[in-house]
């Protein structure tokens, strides 16, 4: 077996991507803390890297989904996988909302805050609410349909890309003899786009350095003291959800959550450093395939999960909403909190593809649930950057778990194969 490469072929520690990202994050924190103005000026490095990644996401998703689904051939199997995926997403997402609601009522991080909302800037909440108005159920459905075929690639909305990819897959399966030729073209195009992404991802340490430098330089560490209770509660709840809830789900699939987290450790650091789960999207899809999941299942579950399976965002929504009620001394009885839960189940699906989706969905939820002052959203702006890292990590982990579960449910891979592949060196991801 070639499970361990010869010493001469091993990458030196300083050449490993996740080590570089980790060092860059530490350096960014130091620069932001000791030289705040310099740290703030580093913001374009983080933003530029995110833009580079997003530039490649749409074509990679399109090629991966088209090739995976069209290669499946069996439309009945595609439909079966689709409904299983949506069922799993709804159950786990709703569980995340419920857990966030329970924890925030136990910890009560906003109690005693006694916030006077008249001291806050109402324009902050209105800026997010304007985006939330464009994410109602009807608008959400209509927004799935792009203005043009190529428009889906420029909109930045993964649902639009997924929609045209599924239509293209269906059309290829209906082609009598030319379908295989089209598939080969799509496969070669996929290799090209993954190659470009491989070049882009080498700049991840630079992006992580800029993002962390800006965050610490702009907001500082001391400014977080008053809101630390909410942040700590959110991080602990997300950790509980990953280790216990997703851990139990993976255990039923025959996999250890800790082995899985070790398997994707490079991608986790990439997400942490950039505060965006999209930066590691192509890599997690490749890793799930190497793990033994079918390419067609990965191509359907992972991209769809970026819109419908946002576990971290769901935990944040219910915790943040009730926190603001506690902080503003707004009474919320059990009936009102259950109404909040029901609304959040809908709004959490309504802001996919929108920049700052966590804040947008929270604004939409607060507007639909009367009582909590909308202006209180301004209280969370300063810490949202720190919260978004945890949201992105939890969302990212949850979507990988979903791909494994659906693959096991479909009988594509055995628990023994998963366990074996989790212990094998992954090798370079191109």
Average pLDDT over residues 184-189: 85
Average pLDDT over residues 159-174: 82
What pLDDT does 3 receive? 44
Is residue 385 within 8 Å of residue 221, measured between CB atoms? no
Asked if residue 398 has pLDDT above 60, the reply is yes
Is residue 227 within 8 Å of residue 97, measured between CB atoms? no
**Cα distance between residue 184 and residue 19, in whole Å:** 36
**Cα distance between residue 416 and residue 232, in whole Å:** 37
Average pLDDT over residues 124-134: 53
Residues 6+ positions from 249 with CB-CB distance below 8 Å: 92, 401, 405
Asked if residue 4 has pLDDT above 70, the reply is no
The residue that leads in pLDDT, 427 or 161, is 161
What pLDDT does 198 receive? 81
What pLDDT does 227 receive? 63
CATH number at 14-423: 1.10.3860.10
Find tokens 């419908």 and name the residue: 308
What pLDDT does 72 receive? 64
Residues 6+ positions from 54 with CB-CB distance below 8 Å: 156, 278
Closest CA to 283 of 206, 358, 356, 200: 200
**Cα distance between residue 306 and residue 58, in whole Å:** 13
Domain boundaries, the chain: 14-423
The residue that leads in pLDDT, 348 or 151, is 151
**Cα distance between residue 53 and residue 245, in whole Å:** 30
- Assign 3-state DSSP to the chain and report helix, strand, coil percentages, each to 5: 80, 0, 20
Length of the chain: 430
Is residue 47 within 8 Å of residue 229, measured between CB atoms? no
Average pLDDT over residues 238-252: 95
- Rg from Cα positions in the chain: 22
What pLDDT does 180 receive? 75
HSE (CB half, 13 Å, CA atoms) of 400?
34
What pLDDT does 242 receive? 96
**Tens digits of residue pLDDT in 14-32:** 677 767 888 888 898 888 8
Mean pLDDT estimate for the chain: 80
Categorize the per-residue pLDDT at 129 as very low, low, confident or very high, splitting at 50, 70 and 90: low
Asked if residue 428 has pLDDT above 90, the reply is no
Categorize the per-residue pLDDT at 245 as very low, low, confident or very high, splitting at 50, 70 and 90: very high
């Amino acid at each position: 077996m070639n499970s361990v490469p010869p010493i001469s072929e091993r990458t030196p520690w300083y050449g490993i991507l996740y080590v570089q990202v980790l060092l860059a994050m530490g350096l960014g924190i130091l620069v932001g803390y000791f030289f705040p103005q310099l740290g703030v000026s580093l913001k374009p490095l983080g933003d530029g890297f995110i833009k580079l990644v997003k530039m490649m996401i749409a074509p990679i998703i399109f090629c991966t989904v088209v090739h995976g689904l069209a290669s499946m051939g069996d439309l009945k199997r595609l439909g079966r996988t689709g409904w299983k995926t949506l069922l799993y997403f709804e159950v786990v997402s709703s569980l995340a909302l419920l857990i966030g609601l329970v924890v925030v009522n136990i910890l009560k991080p906003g109690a005693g805050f006694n916030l006077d909302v008249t001291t806050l800037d109402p324009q902050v909440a209105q800026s997010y609410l304007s985006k939330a108005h464009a994410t109602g159920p009807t608008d959400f459905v209509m927004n799935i349909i792009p203005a043009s075929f190529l428009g889906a690639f420029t909109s930045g909305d993964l649902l639009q890309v997924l929609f045209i990819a599924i239509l293209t897959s269906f059309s290829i399966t209906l082609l009598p003899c030319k379908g295989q030729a089209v598939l080969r073209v799509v496969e070669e195009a996929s290799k090209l786009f993954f190659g470009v992404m491989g070049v882009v991802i080498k700049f991840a340490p630079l992006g992580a350095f800029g993002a962390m430098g800006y965050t610490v330089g702009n907001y500082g560490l001391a400014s977080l003291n008053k809101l630390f209770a909410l942040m700590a509660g959110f991080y602990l709840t997300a950790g509980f959800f990953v280790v216990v809830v997703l851990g139990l789900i993976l255990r039923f699939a025959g996999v250890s959550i800790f082995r899985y987290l070790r398997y994707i450790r490079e991608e986790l650091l990439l997400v942490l450093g950039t505060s965006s789960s999209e930066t590691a999207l192509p890599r997690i899809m490749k890793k799930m395939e190497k793990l033994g999941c079918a390419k067609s299942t990965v191509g359907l579950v992972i991209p769809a999960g970026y819109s419908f399976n946002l576990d971290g965002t769901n935990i944040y929504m219910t915790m943040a909403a009730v926190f603001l009620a506690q902080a503003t001394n707004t009474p919320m009885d059990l009936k009102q909190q259950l109404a909040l839960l029901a609304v959040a189940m809908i709004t959490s699906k309504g802001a996919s593809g929108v920049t700052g989706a966590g804040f947008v969905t929270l604004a939409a939820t607060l507007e639909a649930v009367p009582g909590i002052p909308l202006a209180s959203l301004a209280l969370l702006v300063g810490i949202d950057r720190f919260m978004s890292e945890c949201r992105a990590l939890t969302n990212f982990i949850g979507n990988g778990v979903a791909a494994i579960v659906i693959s096991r449910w479909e009988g594509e891979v055995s628990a023994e194969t998963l366990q074996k592949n989790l212990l094998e060196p992954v090798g370079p991801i191109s």
